[in-house]
Amino acid sequence: MIFIRTIKAFLDDKEYRDLLLTSIAILIIGTFVYHELEGWSYLDAFYFSFITLTTIGFGDFAPQTDAGKLFTILYIIIGVGIILSFVNTLYLHYNQSRRRGKKKKD
């Protein structure tokens, strides 16, 4: 239940909502660019974008074109910071909400 309240509070806050929209936009941009440059399906392009920006990097996909490789370098420089900021902010917000919930019970 606290998770749902945390998500709702997260979406109600403009700064958090903007960070979420920026993260989604970065993933969508990567999806379309990889689809065009590498000829991957939209699902494969989205998968690669997500795996790359979350720094998981399974290695099952890799850009083969020079343009794709150059885009990946820029994409990582810009996108990793944004995605990790989003994940960190979500975690901190959840943790803060959980602490407030415990204080109310005490």
What CATH number is associated with residue 57?
Answer: 1.10.287.70
Whether 38 is in a domain gets the answer yes
At 3 the pLDDT is 66
Please check whether residue 76 lies inside any domain of the structure.
Answer: yes
CB 14 within 8 A of CB 3: no
Is 47 domain-assigned? yes
Residue 50 Cα distances to 82, 86, 95, angstroms: 12, 13, 24
Would the pLDDT of 105 be above 70?
Answer: no
Alpha helices, DSSP H only, in the chain? 2-12, 14-38, 42-53, 66-105
Structurally, the chain folds into a number of domains equal to 1
pLDDT digits (tens, 9 = 90+) for 13-69: 777 888 888 889 999 999 999 999 999 999 999 999 999 988 888 989 999 999 999
Q: Is residue 17 part of a domain?
A: yes
Which domain does 86 fall in, by range? 13-105
- Cα pseudo-dihedral 88, 91, 96, 97, rounded to 10: 140
DSSP for 76-95 reads HHHHHHHHHHHHHHHHHHHH
Query: Does residue 65 lie in a domain region?
Result: yes
